[in-house]
Structure 1
Amino acid sequence: MAFRSKQMYSPAVLRQWAIIVTNRDAQGVNNLISTMQRVAGPIGYTISQPMAIVRAASPSASAFTNALNEVIAKAQGKLDMILIILPNPNADTYAAVKKICSISHGIPSQCFLAKHFNNAKGLMSICTKLVIQMSAKQGGEPWGAMIPMKNIMVLGYDVHHGAVGTRGASVAAMTATFNETLGRCFSKVAKLESREEVATTVAQLFDDCLRAYFRQNNVLPDRIMMYRDGVGEGQLPDVYNNELEGIKDKITLRYQQKETSAPKLSYIVVNKRINTRIFAKDRAPHRYINPLPGTVVDDVVTRPERYDFFLVSPTARQGCVSPTYYNVLLDESGLNADKMQRFTFKLCHLYFNWAGTVAVPGPCQNAHKLAFLTGTALRGDVHAKLAYLMHFL
């Protein structure tokens, strides 16, 4: 209910925008716009009337691309957002419109299924999520967490395997926060060899993120914390020897160039595909329940030779909640275990596509989302304009 009355932490403003819709679905557009404006006002997101509502001649991908090119040409590319109302969840149409917006022109885009027009009871709720997502894509921050550490860069890294149409190639994505509240990020992708997980390209992606942080803040970060997803047990030595050493080399190079002392580096491997389950004992005898979000287990069932812990961050409405396993390969942060765990749990709140906690830290979830979008739809690098926006949400 807070999203109906409380203002967003740092909302964007939507002035120049357009809508693409088929003739068949056009009758629901005015109701959608008014509902969006009604829910956006109380949370601080200003939505102007769209500058154009262009009708696609048919539900085909080519009709939508023609309509997109028409509206972009008319606005000379000066658009804050394009809302595309798709008649069905066709993957080819989705990929075609995303490529034009994200790769060719660098315009944030939001897709919306026309079937939601008929959801009279749920349209307000749907539009609330929609406008929050659109604001975040423009560079707004819907909510935030109290982060006591200053001049910190938090990175997330994940890999999407088996991208369609690329003969089994994998896509790696890295995101890096560049502001104090950790609610905005720079993102970069790279293609890897087939089924390659421990990538030598990590160091280059990291270097791009480091330079992006400097461009935004005119200073290099004092602390760097990287959350690395998708590593199997047998790959840990490779991660430590290849990725971590490559990152250290890039840090040495950049910080010597700027004549700055080296940062405090932490490197944490995240694994959510585990069989471990944790239960809390209820007050009732012989009854066990899911542990509350924020529950940490860092003794007895963890390994004595490692700095590792289990963290339960999401809420499970049914079934058993699955904890996430964190293995801290390197920690120069000076934080004790309790503060490291608290910080990690805070990051699990910073994914703006979900009004709650997610299973992995926000930067990791953002990297996963970007890798999946690139591997399944974009299949290429996005326009430079979008590198500092969460266009992938």
Structure 2
Amino acid sequence: MDRPPPKGRGAALLAKRLQMQKEEKAIGVEPEAAPEEEPPKPRGRAALLQKMREKRMSKPGGEPESKAEPSPSQSIIPESKEKIEQITKAVSEISFSEKDPVFFKGDAGKPIQLSANHIKLSLEKDRGVYEFEVKFNPDLDAKNKRMKATAIVMRELGLPKVFDGGNVLYLPRKIVDTTKTFMAKLPGPDGDEEIAVTIIYKRKKNLAERECLHLYNVLFKRIMHILLYTQMGRNYFDTNHKFLIPQHKLEVYPGFVVTVDELEDGLMLCLDTQHKVLRTQNAYELLGELRSSNPDPRRFKELATANIIGSCVFTRYNNKTYTIQDIAWDMTPQDTFPNRDGEAISFIDYYKHQHNIIIKDINQPLLINRKNVRVSGSADKVERMVCLVPEISYLTGLTDTMRSDFKVMKDVAQYTRVTPNQRLQALRVYLDKVKSSKDAQQVLADWGLKIADDTLKMPGRQLDNEVIYFGRDQQFQTNNNADWSRATGENQVTGPVDMTHWLLFFTDRDKKYAKDFADLMCRLGGAMGCVIKQPRPVRLSDDRTDSYMKACQENITKDTQIVVFICPTMRTDRYSVIKKICCTQIPVASQVINSRTLSNPQKVRSIVQKIALQMTCKLGGTLWTVRFPFKGWMICGIDVYHGGPKGGSVCGFVASLNESISRWYSLAIFQEKELSDYLKSAFTKILEVWKNTNGHFPSKIVVIRDGVGDGQLDHCKRYEVEQMESVLRELGLDTKICFVVVQKRINTRVFSISRDGGCENPPPGTVLDHTVTRRHHCDFFLVPQNVRQGTVNPTHYIVLHDTCQLKPDQVQRLCYKLCHLYYNWPGTIRVPAPCQYAHKLAALVGQHIKKTPSAQLADRLFYL
């Protein structure tokens, strides 16, 4: 098996060794023949030192000099030190040049002036991050002594440092070419101890390297603390300027996400406003409410578990957040735990002495947080349990009930929904704070950094608006609203399906809604271009789950096209049972409707029309399409839902089946990781279905993958892409693959600069593919939808693998077109339609069905 070529110090050692061999050959020295059997040889630097020593002791004829064995007093350390210094010098002279940035820039569309929430960071000449190795003589085992000795030396040199107490030291300047020794005195019980601190130069680090970027992020973390921002989780918030919403027992903290990265145009600071929503209610008060409304202890514990486990709490005494994994009903604040000295102390005494907090209820249960942490000196992680007192643990975030309450969300949105101008103003206020703070400026100056006065401004492009095609070649030209909801009611669908055999389930209380719904469906059929007949009504005596199960088993036949359920309330357990029956046991398309949505007579027509369009898709029909300038291409979408059965994940894999990219084939795959394990079999199956449908294999395949973070890109390329390529090799196909990763959870914001100099949300189709894109990836940002309130979130696309050799304009235009094809919304969406279909499929299977859906439904969008 071929080994990869050596890198870094290994490459330097190899080069040095080859140079010595050339010099020896020039004077006639031949290498010794290795014996047939020999003990294991030393490796790395030790092997090189031994080889050089043997060469120096050799005679020109190749025989070694006859020397007596060295006595213990005749040490060879001085010679070894000399060689080490030579090797170190050779390593330090190696040039670690940075890779050139990758450009993936298109030119289609009309120009538009843009701004982004990135601030340029400039680095002074001959400044950067220099890596050194630190050695101590005598050797220091204690980490605190190593840090003290190094701090003394750096204080004398007047340099800032980043040193974790190990062997690696980072400095902003190159203080020595090879090695240099400094003396430091450490105070001890027996007097001062003199320590020799040797600094060995390694290299200047590239800005894009992980350790280097981590260091710059640490610097801005210091600046956030200097500016009195409080860290909550990963972000920083201003706890002194919170917004109170007393009517809902909420408070909102404004803050920032601060990250430093090496982008296409250099070192950048990404600064985005964030908000943290906290409840003024603590966990103890919530438990009290649940106990008073449910006096039965068993029912109370069930509700407490459902409401608290999995939630995030905030402890004000240390400004930390914790996720609750359990409730210790058998523990109270009276219980004890060992402190740092090993002595037992109760939670009551601990909070009183450490934080001056008096616990009022000494019998309340404790909340449990578990996390895996690294232990000093070990690579393994150990589980650490944190016990929290509900009385001082404040709930964060919004409950599902709050999210479904329009008034709550409207009041919260007054503070969290920030316009582009407000967002930019907040960024400028932050920059002014940094400029006016001497301490913050000193942190930047120590490392040769200078921050720009304002955000970046750069040219972008807006792609042309798409034409939507309906049935009978009817067309609709979209505009900057990117919405064609009215056109869907005025035009026929592209692939109508007659509904002649369908069932309508309802209870007595919803009898009128059911009749009106059926009549309206029949009238809408003509406008859609299909025939919709009256359904066969099935009246249920009650709304128990068992009644729905029994009714399905007794009434659904092989001729049934689709079943519709009008439910009096939305209950997750009932919905799960209906979907499980209709997707696995008796495979048939199903539609579940909450009767409340049919209660408003002013909106009922538009609502029923959307339901009719959904039902058409679930029967294999199509609604609209856009024009694609290619033939024989297959478009795939992949997404993963976490929290599937037995803690695993569900991967949704969706692929197009026709030239107009309007019919889809869907597979759900159960797996144990985010990166798909079973793509090979699913990809093979989809290729077979494509061939059976079209008579040939696709010429090109574009895979759009959602849910891959930056840390998983390389793994995804080696693992998922390779599975697909291996399938094509096994089938002997010359089909090319373009693999694109979609990222939604990003901090980059893009603004359009208006004529008056202000900022607003960019129009749909806006593309930004330079300056703030990744330095070593083919990527771009796309704004596909129109947002009237708040600030739009662009979508980040990374072309991870491309044997199709598509141009930037082709990839960008294709992704934008696919954002028009999600049949659950008559407008553009944030991600391409196949990704959203894969997301819906994986979520339905992972949350409700929890089994592989029937293959009879695979060629329909049964999960809309």
TM (normalized to structure 1)?
0.94
Match of 1:293 in 2: 764
The answer for the alignment partner of 2:492 in structure 1 is 7
The answer to whether 1:206 aligns with 2:683 is yes
- For 1:30, the aligned partner's letter is K
Given that 1:56 and 1:66 are in contact with CA atoms closer than 8 Å, whether structure 2 keeps it comes out as no
Amino acid at match of 1:202: L
Q: How does 1:124-273 map to 2 (within 5 A)?
A: 124-163=605-644, 166-193=645-672, 196-254=673-731, 256=732, 261-273=733-745
Work out whether residues 519 and 534 of structure 2, in 8 Å CA contact, stay in contact via their aligned partners in 1: no
Post-superposition offset of 1:264: 2.0
Which residue number in structure 2 is paired with residue 27 of structure 1? Answer: 512
- Match of 2:528, SS? coil
Measured against aligned partners, the alpha-carbon deviations of 1:341-363 in whole angstroms (never above 9, x if no partner) come to 01110001111001111111111
CA contact (8 A) 2:657 2:690 kept: yes
- Cα offsets for 1:317-348 (capped at 9, x unmatched): 31111111000011222431112101110001
Do structure 1's residue 284 and structure 2's residue 284 form an aligned pair? no
1:366 to 825, 832, 837: 837
Name the residue aligned to 2:565: 84
CA distance in 2: counterparts of 1:133 and 1:66, whole angstroms:
25
User: 543, 558, 562: which is aligned to 1:59?
Assistant: 543
Per the normalisation by structure 2, the TM-score is 0.43
Q: How far did 1:250 drift?
A: 0.4
Find the structure with the greater CA-based Rg. 2
CA distance in 2, matches of 1:200, 1:81: 33
Q: Give secondary structure in 1 for the equivalent of 2:703.
A: strand
* Deviation at residue 199 of structure 1 after TM alignment: 2.1
How far off its partner does 1:376 sit? 0.6
2:827 matched to 1:350? no
Q: Distance in 2 between matches of 1:12 and 1:283?
A: 49
Q: Distance in 2 between matches of 1:13 and 1:137?
A: 12
Write 1 or 2 for the structure with the bigger share of strand.
Answer: 2
Higher relative contact order (CA 8 A, sep 6+): 1
| Secondary structure of the corresponding residue to residue 158 of structure 1 | strand
Percent sequence identity over aligned pairs: 36
Q: What is the DSSP-based 3-state SS (H/G/I as helix, E as strand, rest coil) of the residue aligned with 2:646?
A: coil
Aligned equivalents of 1:8, 1:39: Cα separation in 2: 12
* Structure 1 residue 77 displacement after superposition: 2.1
Matched residue of 1:341: which SS? helix
1:158-193 Cα shifts (integer Å, max 9, x gaps): 000013xx2322111100111111111111111111
Residue identity opposite 2:544 in structure 1: S
- d(CA) in 2 for partners of 1:162 and 1:322? 26
Report the residue type matching 2:808 in the other structure. Answer: A
The code of the aligned residue for 1:53 comes to P
Task: Report the AA paired with residue 110 of structure 1.
Answer: Q
The structure 1 residue matched to 2:584, chosen from 103, 106, 110, is 103
Distance 2:775 2:747 in 1: 19
Report Cα offsets for 1:114-137 as digits up to 9, x if no partner: 112211111011011111111111
Q: Distance in 2 between matches of 1:156 and 1:8?
A: 24
**For residues 3 and 249 of structure 1, what CA distance do their matches in structure 2 show?**
42
Cα distance in 1 for residues equivalent to 2:835 and 2:598: 33
In 2, Cα distance between equivalents of 1:157 and 1:203: 13
Q: Indicate if the aligned counterparts of 1:157 and 1:367 stay in contact, CA closer than 8 A.
A: yes
Distance 2:804 2:626 in 1: 19
Contact 2:501 2:561 in 1 (8 A): yes
Give the gaps of 5 or more residues in structure 2: 1-485
Which SS does the other structure have where 2:728 is aligned? Answer: helix
Partner of residue 333, structure 1: 804
Q: Secondary structure at the match of 1:303?
A: coil
Question: Displacement of 1:378 after TM fit?
Answer: 0.7
Amino acid at match of 2:743: N
Equivalent position SS for 1:358: coil
Separation in structure 1 between the aligned mates of residue 724 and residue 751 of structure 2, nearest angstrom: 38
Secondary structure of 1:188's aligned partner:
strand
Secondary structure at the aligned position of 1:241 is classed as helix
Tell me, in whole angstroms, the C-alpha distance in 2 between the residues paired with 1:308 and 1:46.
46
**1:239-263 CA distances to partner (integer Å, 9 max, x unpaired)?**
0111111110001112x2xxxx511
Secondary structure of 1:187 counterpart = strand
Separation in 2, partners of 1:60, 1:321? 43
- Residue identity in the other structure for 1:277: R
Structure 2: distance between partners of 1:324 and 1:375: 25
Partner of 2:187: none
Corresponding residue for residue 376 of structure 1: 847
Residues 819 and 833 of structure 2 are in contact (CA less than 8 Å); yes or no, is this contact kept in structure 1?
A: yes
Q: 1:268 offset after TM fit, Å? A: 0.4
Secondary structure, in 3 states, of the residue corresponding to 1:200?
Answer: coil
Post-superposition offset of 1:12: 1.4
Match of residue 593 from structure 2: 112
Is 1:48 matched up with 2:533?
Answer: yes
Quick one: distance in 1 between partners of 2:684 and 2:647? 26
Matched position secondary structure for 1:274: coil
Match of 1:46, SS? coil
State the Cα distance separating 1:104 from its structure 2 match: 1.3
- Give the C-alpha shift of residue 214 in structure 1: 1.5
Query: Separation in 1 of the partners of 2:785 and 2:612?
Result: 23
Deviation by residue 1:346-386 (Cα, 9 ceiling, x = unmatched)? 00111100111111111110000000000011111111210
Q: Would you say the 8 A contact 1:77–1:105 is kept in 2? A: no
Structure 1 gap ranges (5+): none
Match of 2:553 in 1: 69
- Contact kept, 8 Å, 2:598 with 2:607, in 1: the verdict is no
- Aligned-pair CA distance for 1:220: 0.6
- The CA RMSD over aligned residues, in Å, is 1.2
Aligned residues: 379
Post-superposition Cα deviations, 1:45-89, rounded to whole Å, max 9, x if no partner, equal 321111x211122111111111111211xxx32111111111111
Q: Residues of 2 paired with 1:262 and 1:290: CA distance? A: 43
Partner SS state of residue 42, structure 1: helix
SS of the equivalent of 2:496 reads coil
Offset, 1:275: 0.8
Describe the SS at the equivalent of 1:231.
coil
Structure 2 counterpart SS, 1:59: coil
In structure 2, C-alpha distance between the alignment counterparts of 1:348 and 1:119, rounded to whole Å: 31
Instruction: Give the aligned residue type for 2:634.
Output: M
Q: Distance in 2 between matches of 1:40 and 1:278?
A: 43
Alignment partners' CA distance in 2, 1:323 and 1:31: 42
Q: Is the 8 A contact 2:636 2:653 kept in 1?
A: yes
